[in-house]
Amino acid sequence: MTYVLHLAIYIAIYSILALSLNLIVGYCGLLTMAHASYFAIGGYTYALLTLTLGWGFLPSTAGAMLVAAILSLALSLPAWRFRGDSFVLISLAIQALVFSILSNWYDAKFPIATWRNLANGPSGIPNIPKPDIIGIRFDTVSSMAILSLALLAICGVTLGLLKISPFGRLLKCMRDDELATRGLGKNVRLTKVYAFGISCSIAALAGVIYSSYTSYIDPSSASLDHSILMVSMVLIGGVGNFRGPIVGAIVLVLMPEILRFGNLPYATAANVRLLVYGVLIALMVHLRPQGLMGEYRFR
């Protein structure tokens, strides 16, 4: 049972990530490879705020989301001018920058959150407190599953409201034809800033759930592999609607678990997993470019 709940938590975390990424990939038509960075920024900010300043769960979460929203300008400002491959390269640069800061800005002799040691480098930050909301502690797997599914529901409703609103329509029009949208007098720059701010802060929320659940975070959560996993979820599930990213998250979270039953040696299993991702994406691109459930064909 604990195993199933554990999987439910992971599915909730990755569904939140995929839904938020869908706002950029599916609704803005921009492919970002830096989503794991914002996930990690959320997890790390939560860890630092709770451990060093002693903040509670809600203020630290709000802080983490705010930091991610502000840092999303690193993506949204270049998105004013760049699209397509150039934007992917810029997002890769941001991905590499965040990963390298988290990995290298440390000196073991100094405590964390100081100028000499930002976040403990490759050793990561242990002992991150479990969520505690108005006196209720979420320290069991079942309570954590309830919390993460509830947060998934809140994120789903929030993003759902945005997607059916004129804001969502404006994003889709911008994706279809940015110049025509500008010709109607729309402030596309501000709209992009909003979209990236919302998407990155929700990714940060997923990071908060992850780090508080596992009580540990290290730079691997900001790795490029992790970003690719998130993008795969969105592309395999299908972009531009609601079901797609969630289906993608479920498929890609459960797939390694199924491979686990194949009794493969650990080192082989990891490689087989990557192989299956690759084959799956290649097949999807050929056979069903709009993803399993998608309504928009990402170009």
Partner 1 sequence: MNTALDDAKIAKMSATDPLAALSCREEGIQIATQHSVLQGRNLQKSFGNHCVLDDVTVDLRQGEVVLLRGENGSGKTTLLNILTGNIEPDQGTIRVIASGTEEYFRFPRPWWQDLNAFDHFTPERVASEAIGRTWQDVRLFQTQTLLDNLAVATPDQPGENPLAVLLSNSRTRAAERNNRGTASAVLSQLGLAGREDSSADRISLGQTKRVAIGRAIRAGARILFLDEPLAGVDGKGILTIMELLTSLARDEQVTLVIVEHALNIPRVLDLADTVWTLSNSHLIVEQPSEVRNQLRGLAADGLMPWLKSMAGPNANYEEQDLGNGARLTRFHAQSIKNQKALLELRDVVVRRGNRLVIGCPDFAGDIKGISFKIYEGDLAVFHAPNGWGKTTLLEALLGIIPMEQGELLFDNMPIKHLSVWERVRRGIAILQARDNFFRNLTVKETLRLCNQTSSDTSWLSNLFDRQVASLSGGERQRVAMSLLKPARLGIYDEPFSALDLSRETTEALDCYVRRHEATIIFLPILDENE
Q: Can residue 296 be called a binding residue for partner 1 (CB under 8 A)?
A: yes
Residues 38 and 162: their CA atoms lie apart, in Å, by 20
Q: Is 108 in the site for partner 1 (CB under 8 A)?
A: no
- Phi and psi at residue 128, in whole multiples of 5°? -75, 130
Q: Which of 172, 243, 273, 288 binds partner 1 (CB under 8 A)?
A: 172
The binder of partner 1 chosen from 187, 254, 260, 285 (CB under 8 A): 187
CB of 170 to partner 1, least distance (A): 5
135, 183, 262, 265: residue in contact with partner 1 (rule CB under 8 A): 183
Q: Which is nearer to partner 1, 181 or 223 (CB)?
A: 181
Between 175 and 226, CB nearer to partner 1: 175
* CA–CA gap between residue 116 and residue 104 (Å, rounded): 10
Instruction: Confirm or reject binding of residue 216 to partner 1 (CB under 8 A).
Output: no
CA 223 to chain CA centroid, nearest Å: 12
For 122, which DSSP code? Answer: G
Nearer to partner 1, 195 or 284 (CB): 195
- Distance between CA 48 and CA 119 in Å, rounded? 8
Alpha helices in the chain (DSSP H): 2-22, 35-53, 57-71, 73-79, 84-104, 141-164, 166-176, 178-183, 188-214, 224-237, 243-260, 266-287
Region binding partner 1 by CB under 8 A among candidate stretches 64-72, 139-147, 192-200, 253-261: 192-200
Q: How far is the CB of 255 from partner 1 (least distance, A)?
A: 30
For residues 37 and 98, is the Cβ–Cβ distance under 8 A? yes
- CB under 8 A, 24+ apart: contacts of 169-175: 171/23, 171/27, 171/28, 171/195, 172/27, 172/240, 174/28, 174/29, 175/27, 175/28, 175/29, 175/296
Shortest distance, position 205 Cβ to partner 1, whole Å: 15
CB nearer to partner 1: pick between 23 and 64: 23
Site for partner 1 in 20-59 (CB under 8 A): none
From 58-66, 104-112, 177-185, 262-270, span contacting partner 1 (CB under 8 A): 177-185
In angstroms, rounded to a whole number, what is the distance separating the alpha carbons of residues 194 and 156?
17
- Rg over CA atoms, the chain: 19
Angstrom distance (rounded) from CA 241 to CA 253: 20
Minimum Å distance from CB 173 to partner 1? 5
CA-nearest of 202, 195, 227, 198 to 96 is 227
Member of 198, 205, 233, 239 binding partner 1 (CB under 8 A): 198
194 touching partner 1, by CB under 8 A: yes
Should residue 182 be labelled a site residue for partner 1 when binding is judged by CB under 8 A?
yes
Check residue 231 for interaction with partner 1 (CB under 8 A): no
Show the site string, 141-170: x = touches partner 1 by CB under 8 A, - = not: -----------------x--xx--xxx-xx
Which residues form the interface with partner 1 (CB under 8 A)? Answer: 158, 161-162, 165-167, 169-170, 172-173, 175-177, 179-189, 191, 194-195, 198, 240, 296
